[in-house]
Amino acid sequence: MARTARSPAPSPTPPARPPARAGIASGDYRATTDAKGHYSLTVTPGTYDLTVSAFGYADKTVSGVVMGDGGSVTESVVPEALASQTVSGEVTDGSGHGRPLYAKVTVDGVPARPVFADPSTGWA
């Protein structure tokens, strides 16, 4: 029989929650948090390590989550936010004249939408 581990229901003082679109993993079991950080993970009875991972946060693992037969467990996990930096720059042609260019700018491994350099200034 499968069981569910889930984040708590809303309360007057909202509990800490994982960030939106965080990955929740326990062995071969996987889930993704919704826009409010809620998740539901259906597992068989046993003892599990629950790991939360999301871009911009350090992975966090809660060890020894026990799921009994016929039960459910509420486990709130909040990973620590990592330091972030702003990246900016100018996109110019390679002719040596430094003319600004319209360009799409992306960063590998960053799940954000691309930005576009202003064609009149080259700044992104």
Does 62 lie in the same domain as 98? no
On whether residue 80 sits in a domain, the answer given is no
Confidence of residue 111 (pLDDT cuts 50, 70, 90): confident
Average pLDDT of the segment spanning 10-36:
76
Per-residue pLDDT at 9 exceeds 50: no
pLDDT computed for residue 16 by the predictor: 58
pTM: 0.64
- What is the number of domains present in the chain? 2
DSSP state of 105: E
pLDDT computed for residue 63 by the predictor: 93
Identify which has the larger pLDDT, 30 or 6: 30
Does 89 lie in the same domain as 69? no
Domain that holds residue 7: 3-74
- Mean pLDDT for all residues in the chain: 82
Structure tokens at 103: 């360009």
On whether residue 94 sits in a domain, the answer given is yes
How far apart, in whole angstroms, are the C-alpha atoms of residue 43 and residue 6? 11
> Which residue among 49, 74, 99 closes a domain?
74
Does 116 lie in the same domain as 70? no
pLDDT computed for residue 1 by the predictor: 36
Does 118 lie in the same domain as 64? no
Confidence of residue 13 (pLDDT cuts 50, 70, 90): very low
Per-residue pLDDT at 47 exceeds 50: yes
Q: How does strand 3-6 pair with strand 72-74?
A: parallel
Q: What are the C-alpha distances in Å from 81 to residues 19, 36, 47, 65, 115?
A: 10, 16, 27, 23, 23
Alpha-helix residue ranges (DSSP H) falling in 8-94: none
**Type of residue found at 98:** G
Identify which has the larger pLDDT, 19 or 12: 19
